[in-house]
Structures are given as structure tokens and as C-alpha cells.
A and B are shown apart, each in its own frame.
Chain A
């Protein structure tokens, strides 16, 4: 795997961690909770090497 690809996977992991952290911190808005989870999907699919 080229170095730049490894960096992009690391960026992905960082974004996933940030989104999960925001999802955990969200207490009131269900809309925000849904949005956090939705934007998580493509990042997770990439890290799991599905899409």
C-alpha cells in the first residue's frame, strides 16, 4: 500500500473517532445524531475495505 494511501486511511480513522465522539456528546438533537451516523457510513465502509 503506498504511503499516501496509508495517510488517507489514518485520516479516515481520525474522522471516524471525531464523529463518534460528537455522537456520544450529542444529548438533545436527534437530527444531529442521525447526521453523525449517516456521515460515518462511507468512512466505515472505506476503512473496512468494502466500498
Chain B
């Protein structure tokens, strides 16, 4: 064997080793199945493709859980993981999915709104691939996703994303962002088909309230808030005042801008009769000037650089040595969701929605998020869904 051939073979082996070491964890992450135990309240499970046929057999199709109450009433939709790197929304949605008992009206939950993004990651930022929540029966493992859908599912990116139907020019990356592709198109790019499916569901099922659960940087002004368009703003304001008075946490109201297109809190309201709300809980993990993006930072939100910036008045939320824990973020989401539903039911008693068995902020902070999840090993097989 010539020396040239020996060198080439050695290099090929090295590169294959590199590819396996780097690629195998990504492959496992993309195909990791997270078990969810559907609670007693779940009455029907379907796919989003039931409302958007072009989603069928794609990686963007996702489960939709219906929790129908005994009495007729209003309908509320919870969407989590629109941005799959903001997991407090998913964790809150799962608390509802596994525990909620709906007495009146219907609760619809889409826990992995951007299913493709939940199977994507951001290696350039050193994102962890998974995180775990401590429960009463052990640890529950979750995929940590990314803001945008995987390019494996929607490729190529355009030079500029032209929003449909307003033709507003948005960043190229937003073509894969399900909070820029509303209201979507039946046969548009894959992420537009996802939002179109949700719009069709809201129009077909006559959904009254849509809640899109998010997280935002502490250095970003639109954080720790409820974003609402004109038609939802009264309920949002009453919710903000009530949670502050009753539970002691701030959650101000941000008006949905009319000139910035593609966002759920704008387009859902403009293209359907549904009242949209977007909930933002602070997530220090997403801030740029932090230390390494570790699981610890994701869970407790403690970072020395943010602490220093907080002392200089550069953050938009109160921040101290305690950080901003996952329990606080999930608890805020639970309380704000329940309060929006309560305010809506007060305003329209004929369309009231009554949900019980869901913890408020104080309870989630005290008992931990994991306390509210059920052990898949002890659940009936028919109640387990893999996300």
C-alpha cells in the first residue's frame, strides 16, 4: 500500500469517527420519544393534519388533545413549544394535559406546536440536547429544541421571508419560525401549513380563546407580560391586575403591534373570531450575555453576568441571586392561563369555561413542576402518547 493511500485511509477513518461522534447524538435527539400521560380529562386525541391535509406524513404534524367538559361552554386553545427553546410553556401545557378536569367548555392543547423545532438544536450556542425535571417518581427527560424548525424538514431558506398575505419582508430565518408564519397557507412552506392548520382548527371548532405560551430574554422589553391585540386587551389587563393583587407577581400587558406581521397575537385575531393572547415568561437562558448555556442555567436562571447587568439597571425584570427558576416561569403561565379563562368566563357567562385540578403559581413554586407529572410506567398504555 502506498503512503498516499495510507494517509487517505487514515483521514477517512478520522472523519468518519468525527461524523459518528457528532452526528449520532443529534440523530438520537431528533428521534427521542418523550412519553406524555394523558390525564382523565382527555376525551379525544387527533392530529393537526386533520385541519391541514398538507401536513400529513410530515415531521411538522403534531398531536392535538381535546378535554371536553360535561357541560357546554366556551373553547380555549393552549399552544406550547411554538418556540421549542422556551420550554416553560410546554411544561405548563403538560400540567394541564395530565391533570385538568374540565367541568364546562372545552380545553384544546397542542403541546408541541412546532414539532420540527423540538427536534432541532442550536450547536453554535452550545445548547444542551435534553433537560430533566425531578418528579415524585424519578426524572422526566425532555428534548431541548430550538426556536426554528429543523432545516431537515423545511429547506432551503429564502434570502428574505416574504410574509403571506401581507408581503412584509422578514428575516430569512423566520420562514421556519411558527410565530412569524401566521395565518399561514394550505400549501405554503411547511411552517405556514402548521399555522394554517391551527387557524383552520380555530375557525372549524369555533375556539374562543387562544393562548400561545412563550419565554423571553430578561434584556428584552417584551418579557414577563401578556401580549394582546385590541380585542383581547381588556381581559389581559384585568388578568394582569388580578395576578399581581392575588399572587404577587408582575405580568404587564403589551399591545400587539399592528404593523408587525406574522405573530400569533396579531394574525389569529385578524383572521378569526378567536381572542388571542401570547404569554411571555422571563428565561435568562436565552439572554446573549450569559455564561455557558447549561441545563442548570435553563432550570434555575442564575447567571453572574445577568446579575451584574441587573445591578446596572439593564434588565426589564427584577433579578437577584435567586435567578428566575423554572418553577416560577411555569407557575406564572399556569396562573395567567387560569385567570384569562376566569376573566373571559366572567365577561361571557354563556360561554364560560371551568377547569379544576390545576395548580396556581404559589403551589408550583412550592411543590415543583415535576410533582404534577404522572409516571408513564404506572399509566395505562392507551393513555401514553409519545411526543
Q: What residues of chain A have their CB less than 8 Å away from a CB belonging to chain B?
A: 2, 4-5, 8, 23, 27, 30, 33-34, 37-38, 40-41, 44-46, 48-51
Contact = CB atoms under 8 A, between A and B. Distances in A.
Nearest to A23: B8
A41 B8 contact: no
A4 B11 contact: no
Contacts of B151: 46
User: SS class of chain A's interface: helix, strand, loop or mixed?
Assistant: helix
Contact of A30 (B7, B22, B23, B156): B7
A41 B155 contact: no
Contact of B156 (A8, A49, A50): A8
Interface stretch (B12-20, B40-48, B168-176, B244-252): B12-20
A33 B26 contact: no
Contacts of B154: 5
Contact of A49 (B19, B22, B152): B152
* Contact-residue bracket for chain B: 20 to 34
A2 B27 CA distance: 23
B8 A50 contact: no
Given A4-B156, A5-B155, A38 B27 contact: no
Contacts of A37: 11-12, 14-15
A51 B8 contact: no
Nearest to B23: A50
A33 B156 contact: no
A51 B23 contact: yes
Most buried by B among A33, A34, A48: A33
A8 B278 CA distance: 36
19 contacts: A4-B156, A5-B154, A27-B4, A30-B7, A33-B7, A33-B8, A37-B11, A37-B14, A37-B15, A40-B15, A41-B22, A44-B19, A45-B19, A45-B22, A45-B23, A45-B26, A49-B152, A51-B23, A51-B26
